[in-house]
Amino acid sequence: MTAFDLIIIGGGPGGYVAAIRAAQLGKNVALVEAKHLGGICLNWGCIPTKALLKSSELYYTLQKLDQYGLEAKSTAFDLTKIVKRSRDVAGQLVTGIKHLMKKNKVTVFDGFAKLAGGGKVSIDLNDKSKTEISAPHIILATGARPRVLPGIEPDEKLIWTSKEAMIPETMPKSLLVIGSGAIGIEFASFYRSLGAEVTVVEIMDRVLPVEDEEISVMARKAFEKQGMKIMTGAKVAKLEKSANNVTATIEAGGKTETQTFDRVISAVGITANTENIGLESTRVQVERGHIVTNPWCETHEPGVYAIGDVTAPPWLAHKASHEGIICVEKIFGVPGVHPLDTKKIPGCTYCHPQVASIGLTEAKAKEAGRAVKVGKFPFIGNGKAIALGEPEGLIKTIFDATTGELLGAHMIGTEVTELIQSYAVAKTGELVEKDLMHTVFPHPTLSEMLHESVLAAYGKAIHY
């Protein structure tokens, strides 16, 4: 048996980052990955979808070249090349992760790992052999997979998960997307931009239901303007497959209707990968399908930790990576380590227009009993946004009326997934409204809207 200082099960954005940080601390680290380094994020999630969305965004822009004084004799897309580029981008980054493992002297085992008790991990290697390794500390970073609803089971042909939606062989003329969270809306945006007739069914009363209500309303208007059909407060009661299409029975507003689609994407959340990893012989607790941890990522089993999508929400790659660093630094006694505050984690949706947020929504802040000051600044008041031909959008900020604490920020519009990080820095640094007001923002930039929104909360906006 080979002994290590730390064993990490799962090589996604939580696991591989934890491995690198432990190696930086001079520890002997083993990383076990059953399928592919980089996990879902690099291979079948965050990265390849952004490559797809970039292609669709460019195609969308080509359709309005005349607005920029440009002409093109024809515009077209090659779906095969779009998909290939996406897969190539993912492959390039996975190769990079392999290099990082080698550079940091992390021992990688290609296989499926299982807790074997007493700090031991048994591994069924991909070459069909078996081995066993041990360490005083074991981090579970096994991630999650798409949730499957009864009666809407994906078949990889007509009913897709996010994975199949990333590698279409042909362009569907009509598409049903079940679920309007980040995954569902991103795919709806991708396929609609390339010309598919897209219907989105959401069981909640609005799209992007975790976002601030005002942002959700603006998003829906933008999506419908692009030609999407949005059905909220609705559910898919049944799917009936034929040879080449699917007929959906949709219930909404007390009425039932049937519609036929070429393809269906099920985007109704995730299920944590907790099965067959040896939890049954430990004190690790699982609630609502996810492993329970304390603020230091410790489970109820001494020496066993968990990070990322296998644990509680938010289920975001950057949350997993940060948890990996916190967990490792706590294990090995790095001074100054702090537990993760989920209210300081930004969330991004890369549809068109983009949506990004951090902290409390206006409604949640009021529910918490906070007296608030709310600032809003529209994209139409920003010179750079108008010059870019992207005048539609909004920056919204929420402050504690007494202390000036930034409680939340919510935005919709071009490149807001990049802009949100300024407010993340502000929240981490515990900046108050005066700090943000006294910050000089460069002109002409989209970032000026961040400043104006803060000013607007206190009746000081200059350009609107």
So which residues are the catalytic ones? 443
**Residue 223 exposed, middle or buried by CB count within 10 Å (0-12, 13-18, 19+):** buried
Long-range contact pairs involving 280-288 (C-beta distance under 8 Å, separation at least 24): 281/115, 281/117, 282/115, 282/117, 284/140
C-beta atoms surrounding 450 within 10 Å = 25
Residue type present at position 225: K
Long-range contacts of 82-88 (CB under 8 A, 24+ apart): 82/52, 82/55, 82/56, 83/52, 83/166, 83/167, 83/168, 85/51, 85/55, 86/48, 86/49, 86/51, 86/52, 86/55, 86/166, 87/48, 87/167
Region of 269 on the Ramachandran plot (φ > 0 left; ψ -120 to 50 alpha; else beta): left
Task: Answer yes or no: are the C-beta atoms of 309 and 315 closer than 8 Å.
Answer: yes
Rounded to 5°, angle at Cα 92 from 194 and 346: 65
Is the dihedral angle over the CA atoms 94, 95, 96, 101 positive or is it negative? positive
> Which strand (E) or helix (H) includes residue 420?
helix 416-428
For residue 161 the two structure tokens come to 């998960």
Angstrom distance (rounded) from CA 277 to CA 274: 6
